[in-house]
Structure 1
Amino acid sequence: MSVTMKDVADIAGVSIATVSHVINKTRYVNPELVKKVEQAIWDSGYISKLNNKKLSQYKIGKASEIALVIPSTNNDFYCRLVMTISHLLNDEGYVLSTYLSDENYLKEKHILNELISNRRIAGTILVPTSNDFDDYEKLVKSRLPFIFLEKTFKNKEVSVVYSDNTDAIYRSTKHLIKSGHENIALLLEKRTENSYDEYITGYKKALEEYNIPFRNQYIIPINSKNLTYVDEIKSLLKSKISTAYITGCNNLTPKFLECVDELGIQYPNDISIIGFTDNEWCERISPPLTMLKHNTQELSEKATEMILKKIEHNSLNENESVCIPIDLTIRKSTQNIARGPFGEMTVNPEQNVLTEEEIEKLNNSNFKVAISFHYSGDKWTKLHEQAIKETMNRYGIHLLSITDAHFDPELQITQLESLIMQKPDAIIALPTDEVQTAQKFKEISKKTKLILLNNMPSSFEPNDYACWISVNERENGQNAAKILVDHFKHKKTAKIGMITHGTPFFATKQRDFFAEQTLKENENINIVARKDFLKIDNTYDVCKNMILENPDIEGIYITWERPALKAIKALEDMNREDIVVSTTDLDYDIASYLAKKKMVIGISSQRPFEQGTAVAIATAKALLGKNEYKSIGVPPYTVTQTNLPKAWRELIKTEFPDFKNN
């Protein structure tokens, strides 16, 4: 029995492709792997086959070719299959002959009849056009070795290699649901009936997991051979029935993006998109596309291995079914949709804009506004205040006064009484405590328009305030957790602690919830401890006790930077600078640790200036009685050691400090 490249790969513990690259020197391979492969070639006796191939590379005459029958070469997927399978077979001395069925069964039937009677054909790899297994009875009964590629037949014993479409759509739909989407449209090529059912199975599975009802209106069958299908896509987009779209095949994705562009729709601000495509340009467009991509290398390797086994081992009756995962790469074409205090969908501040007519009316109205901050002694609040002032000045809105409660609920109540005596047309407020200040805010809501930041007073109802503005806390928590996930992605198990806010503020509660959810979704992450703090100063002891109880903790999520600094001080005093920290909000001290690569590995930061601008415009809309949106969520900014200088300039609006000399 002749030794094959697959035998060499098994001995060396590598893929067929790696063996091929070592032999043909077509790609860099780690020297250790090269040594393993060369030893396996020698031990298996494959070296003699290689020497013979130098004299005669290819088989000739009978059984010298392997046929690949595919629908077309109109997309990158099939082109990649042809190139990769051809290269792999070339190493075994076979020539690949490619035939196009044009998705026409009669043409495919004619091709197969010719292949069965062609003595040069040693075997066939077939992407079937028909969904009826009986149509391939003649091929099955022939003595021609064959395997199916990319299409399965239920309850039929045949060899097949196929992509896991069900899991791909399940993971895509789940990603969108986790990002806050519920109305998710799935565009499918109706002609590929087999895949069509697999996609819907995965789609339904994700919906059921999150208790979202399946609605048939979101399954959009498309026939790309119908000349009107582009108009169908445009009508779908104009209907605005969905906030997110998954395009279910290679052909649909570029046309869908063209329609989006022609209609002036912005993604991810207006809609989120996940494309199914093997086109490399999707990685380079702006914003780059979140995409599903076939693993053509693995499909090709497995298909080559299976057909060679049937040919060279004469194993016509030995059948196997191999499912290859599809890659899901998350990029920037999908948006996290946060939820407001009453479950309403928050909108991006870019959607809340003033018209020229509204600006003119504001400048002619002499509106007066007051601000009640929970605290104004940090850079965040100062930038917030600066943006509010600058924006209001542009629209002729007079700022009466700004108060700072120093995190004291009783002081804020007293300050609110003083502010309301000035008879403002609106009050912008960040409640220091959602319970203790609730009654006073309830009184004020009946006397003036109330615009709330981050926190929501208890017992409030939607009619008690004009608008609520915050960072997109869903995304904020997810980003902070993902920093830890990425840091430990190469570890089999990572033990993580969480330090969260004990007071049930809506914003921090939402942030911490999604951070924990993101951590739990990764199998290698083990949350071994979670502790709350009520006062920031107490975080030092909370962290210290957590580490004493769980000394093997490797990383900690801390809800925002001020308590994070207290926890970091505790770690320093315990000589535990080996523990990494992820948190939210950018300020000088936390940035210093990040810049010096001391414990802090990343930050998900609010955009204080942009939030201040959003607050001012929401207030202006409220003054005019035109606040269309009750909840506005400003996207956070992920800050790493790599992008820290740029992030500092964009978020803090000053030159990047020289942390290394401070």
Structure 2
Amino acid sequence: MPLNIQLPTARASRRILVAGAVAAALVLSGCSTGTATESSAPSAPAVEPSLDFTGPGGEAPGTLDDLALTDEEIAKVKAGDFTAAFVWHTSSEFVTAVEKGATAEFDKLGIEVVASTQADFDAATQANNLQTVLALKPDIIVATAADPTSAAATFQPAVDAGVKLAIMTTPPAGYTAGDQFVSIVTESLTQAGKLDADLLGEALGGEGDIGYMYHDADFWFTNQRDEAFKAWTAYSYPDQKIVAEEGFTDEAATQEIAAAMIARNPTIKGIYVAWATAAQGVLAALRDAGRSDVKVVTNDLDATLAADMVAGGNVVGLVGNGSTNLGKGLGMVGAYGVLDKEAPALVAVTPMGVTADNISEGWLDDYGTEPPASVTGK
């Protein structure tokens, strides 16, 4: 049985404004966790935002189809008796689904999973988890850096030991593909942000005041996706006005933040939240306030939010990450590593917009299963 370490801690991280093609037409109004700020509606950009994006080191994304192994290479991996471990940044249904997809790929390749850890976005916890995992001497580590800056030192012992790092979304700062790690596997962040904007825009009929709750930390993956939502909202729905922006680092704080946001801005009819577990607090705040009129969109397929959506509640759209395909890509990248085969520096999986109308299709695309009875009521 793989080692499974769950060590919840408080999180602390710092904010960064992401510069990229999708944010070129925007000016981000700064705010800190727990303090509501109001902003003017951004003018619709004259030029349509680009769906192109680059990785944290300027990597251009390829696709999952760019990863392939020959029969001879597969046989070589199977004969190698390789092992793998997961050193995650946090836990969620999304991470669980990615791990499921990666484990399935490892199983096909004869790679044994010996450990799985999560750090609740705490850098010190992740450092401790890595040391515990290294004692098991895995050949491959699948990881997301909880804090990119400190992760450079955290993961250096793994690099020094020759462990092959397969990175989901966010590598340690200063690390490069083909050197300290094999490849990054992520979703197409700009496509995800556009899907969020379209889901909310369509639910609101393209007009009304909205709130924007973004991840207030130096986290490449969420930063670009959040900014893409703003860019596409400004371009595609110029009659929707962002009247309040709130950053958060602690998922447990989102209920309080959302409660303050809607109290100060009662005209809000829609809210974007960076990801699903953070959106659960927003949903609780809306229910407490009796605000059934406020529409919510977020990223990741979460059973609690999906059940609310299917029942006609506040949630009107979720963006699936293609989680099992992300996992498959990470498993393939791990195999590339032990074969010393050069992989694409960045691999992007296509996300999917999910509503109550296509929940079964979306769940199958993301998790490879039908949605649970708690979602469908069946």
State yes or no: 1:380 paired with 2:107.
no
Match of 1:362 in 2: 77
From 275, 280, 283, the equivalent of 1:568 is: 283
Match of 1:556 in 2: 271
Map residues 401-550 of structure 1 onto 2, 5 A cutoff.
401-447=115-161, 448-462=163-177, 463-489=179-205, 493-521=207-235, 522-550=237-265
Asked if 2 retains the 8 angstrom alpha-carbon contact of 1:483 and 1:582, the reply is yes
Q: 1: CA distance between counterparts of 2:375 and 2:124? A: 38
Q: 2: CA distance between counterparts of 1:394 and 1:550? A: 52
Partner SS, residue 614 of structure 1: helix
From 326, 345, 348, the equivalent of 2:63 is: 348
Q: 1: CA distance between counterparts of 2:265 and 2:116? A: 44
From 577, 583, 596, the equivalent of 2:298 is: 583
Q: CA deviation at 1:338?
A: 3.7
Q: Normalising by structure 2, report the TM-score.
A: 0.81
Asked if 1 retains the 8 angstrom alpha-carbon contact of 2:300 and 2:319, the reply is yes
Match of 1:139 in 2: none
Asked if 1 retains the 8 angstrom alpha-carbon contact of 2:93 and 2:301, the reply is no
Q: Which has the higher helix share?
A: 1
Q: 1: CA distance between counterparts of 2:349 and 2:137? A: 30
- Which protein, 1 or 2, shows the higher relative CO under an 8 Å CA cutoff with sep ≥ 6? 2
Match of 2:42 in 1: none
Q: CA deviation at 1:661?
A: 4.9
Q: Deviations over 1:608-632 (max 9, x none)?
A: 2111111000111121111330111
From 325, 333, 340, the equivalent of 1:618 is: 333
From 388, 391, 400, the equivalent of 2:114 is: 400
Q: CA deviation at 1:509?
A: 0.2
Partner SS, residue 456 of structure 1: coil
Q: Deviations over 1:331-369 (max 9, x none)?
A: xxxx95442111221111122111122112212222222
Alignment CA distance shift 1:499-1:357 (3 Å): same
Q: 2: CA distance between counterparts of 1:659 and 1:361? A: 43
Q: 2: CA distance between counterparts of 1:381 and 1:433? A: 17
Amino acid at match of 2:327: G
Rg: which structure is higher? 1
Q: 2: CA distance between counterparts of 1:639 and 1:402? A: 29
Match of 1:150 in 2: none
> Unaligned regions of 5+ residues in structure 2, if any?
1-20, 23-45
Q: 2: CA distance between counterparts of 1:510 and 1:652? A: 24
Match of 1:595 in 2: 310
Asked if 1 retains the 8 angstrom alpha-carbon contact of 2:182 and 2:343, the reply is no
Partner SS, residue 642 of structure 1: helix
Map residues 299-310 of structure 1 onto 2, 5 A cutoff.
none
Alignment CA distance shift 1:616-1:547 (3 Å): same
Asked if 2 retains the 8 angstrom alpha-carbon contact of 1:618 and 1:627, the reply is no
Map residues 127-146 of structure 1 onto 2, 5 A cutoff.
none
Asked if 2 retains the 8 angstrom alpha-carbon contact of 1:456 and 1:506, the reply is no
Q: 1: CA distance between counterparts of 2:283 and 2:196? A: 16
Match of 2:347 in 1: 632
Asked if 1 retains the 8 angstrom alpha-carbon contact of 2:183 and 2:343, the reply is no
Q: 2: CA distance between counterparts of 1:361 and 1:554? A: 56
Q: 2: CA distance between counterparts of 1:540 and 1:597? A: 20
Amino acid at match of 1:398: E
Q: CA deviation at 1:209?
A: 6.2
Map residues 27-42 of structure 1 onto 2, 5 A cutoff.
none
Q: 2: CA distance between counterparts of 1:478 and 1:604? A: 10
Match of 1:96 in 2: none
- What is the number of equivalent residue pairs in this alignment? 331
Asked if 2 retains the 8 angstrom alpha-carbon contact of 1:451 and 1:467, the reply is yes
Asked if 2 retains the 8 angstrom alpha-carbon contact of 1:456 and 1:505, the reply is no
Q: CA deviation at 1:384?
A: 2.0
Match of 2:40 in 1: none
Q: 1: CA distance between counterparts of 2:158 and 2:77? A: 23
Q: Normalising by structure 1, report the TM-score.
A: 0.47
Match of 1:642 in 2: 357
Map residues 27-66 of structure 1 onto 2, 5 A cutoff.
none
Q: Percent identity?
A: 26
Q: 1: CA distance between counterparts of 2:375 and 2:133? A: 40
Amino acid at match of 2:332: I
